Amino acid sequence: MLTALLVSIFFLGYAAIFLERTLKINKAPSALLTGVLCWVAFMLCSGNSVEINHHLTSHMGEVSEVLFFILGAMVIVELIDAHDGFDIITTRIRTRSKRKLLWIVSGLAFFLSAILDNLTTTIVIVTMLRKLVRDRDERLIFVGMTVIAANAGGVWSPMGDVTTTMLWIGGQISVFSTVLNLFLPSLICCCVPVIALSTRITGSVSSSDTVAPEIYSSSKFERNAVFWLGIGVLFFVPLFKMLTNLPPFMGMLFGLGLMGVLTEFIHSDKSEAEKGVLSVNHVIRKIDTPSVLFFLGILLAVSALESAGLLNQLASWLEKVSGDVVVLGLFIGLISAVLDNVPLVAAVQGMYSLSAYPTDDLFWQFIAYTSGAGGSALIVGSAAGVAAMGLEKIDFVWYLKRISFLAVMGYLCGAAAYIIQRSVL
């Protein structure tokens, strides 16, 4: 009964998100209701309040890490944008050709996500695109490709995606082997959709109008100082994790604190009216809170399924049905577009030991690729997609019609490239 009830609530919630425009109900409350009702059903059917509350508290720790990471990244990026910092990059992108811009944006997202992570990269690129492309309908295509490229780029680096980091820490993959074996499949996963889309888009993009700041215009020194510190802080987050063994969100909050101190210092001689517009407090009010609540609801719902053991059951069922590690990996990748890839990968890690599949085995490398790249199939399938959805108010159905097929095509081509590469080498 519990399984049927949880699955029903989960898919009804997804249906409400899917039909957001038809129902005229924002996706954030739908997601929150789904998350809370999943835990209520779990509690009522289980009856063990102590154990359920323990599960919930444990998961909320993990969920909070993700949410604080997103909030920190959003505030840092907004702070750079408030000081016109991204003009340093956008003024150097002079092409107005849609095809050239598509390749530039996708290339930036692909390589940046390997160094930062796919979530932070998406937030940065989407913010830049607002300055480069004025027409929203045109911009959404570039944003959709950014999600695909960022997720693909996050696969070939242990720091680029949460699941590759999990496999790296768990000893299933190593840094050198991951880069060596997954770079080409990830590149193909990114390039195939770009090539396919390049054949369909023509003409020039409409450049964004320069919008004047509300009160104060940043000087060249302030613009450069905030931009380079902000980018440096984002690049420092993976290093912070390696040096301290603390979660990435701690590094992001540390960086946000540095940014706050710097901006207060460089604007110390200004009036409160001038300084207020460029402060952390003002930027925080501009953050898209409904998107954060939407993400919270989705993560709560998935965590309820995980605590109830449904994801482990799903992984076991997939193993029996597929009978092959390659088919299993492909299924996990596609399912991660609906369910969070983190608990799925955690379930797989618990099912298979390193004695059965040693470090850098084809199986683990393939799981790293599929769990990261497969999330691009749906806008809610990855943290990068959810961030883009919130920043640009992308409709679930729009992404499904315009981007999902390209994402799945790239995903399957990259998977085929990995299998051929391993068989040849």
Beta bridge mates, 298: none
Residue 254 has pLDDT above 90, yes or no: yes
Q: How high is the pLDDT of residue 214?
A: 45
In a domain, 346, yes or no: no
Q: What is the 3-state secondary structure (H, E, C) of 247-277?
A: CHHHHHHHHHHHHHHHHHHHCCCCCHHHHHH
Q: How high is the pLDDT of residue 130?
A: 86
- Give pTM, 2 decimals: 0.76
Q: Measured between alpha carbons, how far is residue 363 from residues 184, 316, 326, 370 in Å?
A: 17, 16, 7, 10
DSSP 39: H
In a domain, 47, yes or no: no
In a domain, 241, yes or no: yes
Residue 188 has pLDDT above 90, yes or no: yes
Range of the domain at 209: 66-285
In a domain, 395, yes or no: no
Instruction: Give the C-alpha separation, 383 to 386, whole Å.
Output: 5
In a domain, 188, yes or no: yes
* Cβ–Cβ under 8 Å, residues 73 and 255: no
In a domain, 121, yes or no: yes
Instruction: Give the C-alpha separation, 301 to 305, whole Å.
Output: 7
In a domain, 110, yes or no: yes
Residue with tokens 């399924």: 305
Domains contained in the chain, number = 1
Instruction: Give the C-alpha separation, 268 to 87, whole Å.
Output: 24
In a domain, 379, yes or no: no
For 6-60, what is each residue's pLDDT tens digit? 889 988 988 887 777 778 788 889 889 999 999 999 998 887 888 889 888 888 8
